[in-house]
Amino acid sequence: MRQFVDPDTGEVFYEEQILRRPDEIVKVFRPAGRSAKFVKIKASQKAKRRLRKLTLAEAGFLLKIAPYASEGTNLLQGDNERGQKGVPLTIKDLARIADCSYSQARKIVRTFIEQRILRWTEVGNRAALAINPLYSLNGKAADTSLLQLFKQETTEAGEDPNSE
């Protein structure tokens, strides 16, 4: 068995030979515990125009925090590596995730709120940030709660976040 290391991510891969019959199908599963995320950056022309307006620092920040969006609701929550699983991430947590200073993260979050990329909402008795589904969506479809949170933005954009 040969081992390969991805130079960008450090992820280790192993080469294996599999013998199978012509009528058999082989599927590879990842171990339980590390769920696959379906975070996607929106690719419509309108979304591309919106994304092009972001500075490099803002685009990098959005790309780094997007995998922490909970499925369907886009709430930024911990995963037990960064923050407690299911608990809303703080701006301090987001700064660590995005590998930037707290003041830079706070400034980008404030800018994103002004640009309606992020929005504060309440989960239980805690404040949580959610990502606008017109920019990025975790999961195959946006939940009703997420669509309600960004209703004005999606209406103004004339775009359905669940299409694509």
Inside any domain, residue 15: no
Q: What are the pLDDT digits (tens) for 66-98?
A: 989 998 899 999 988 888 888 999 999 999 999
Residue 61, domain extent:
39-157
Inside any domain, residue 79: yes
Crossing angle between the packed helical segments 102-114 and 91-98, to the nearest 10 degrees: 110
Inside any domain, residue 139: yes
Q: What are the pLDDT digits (tens) for 95-154?
A: 999 999 999 999 999 999 999 999 999 988 899 999 998 888 888 788 888 888 988 887
Inside any domain, residue 13: no
Inside any domain, residue 152: yes
Inside any domain, residue 32: no
CATH code of the domain containing 60 = 1.10.10.10
The helix/strand/coil state of 150 is coil
Inside any domain, residue 20: no
Structural domain tally of the chain? Answer: 1
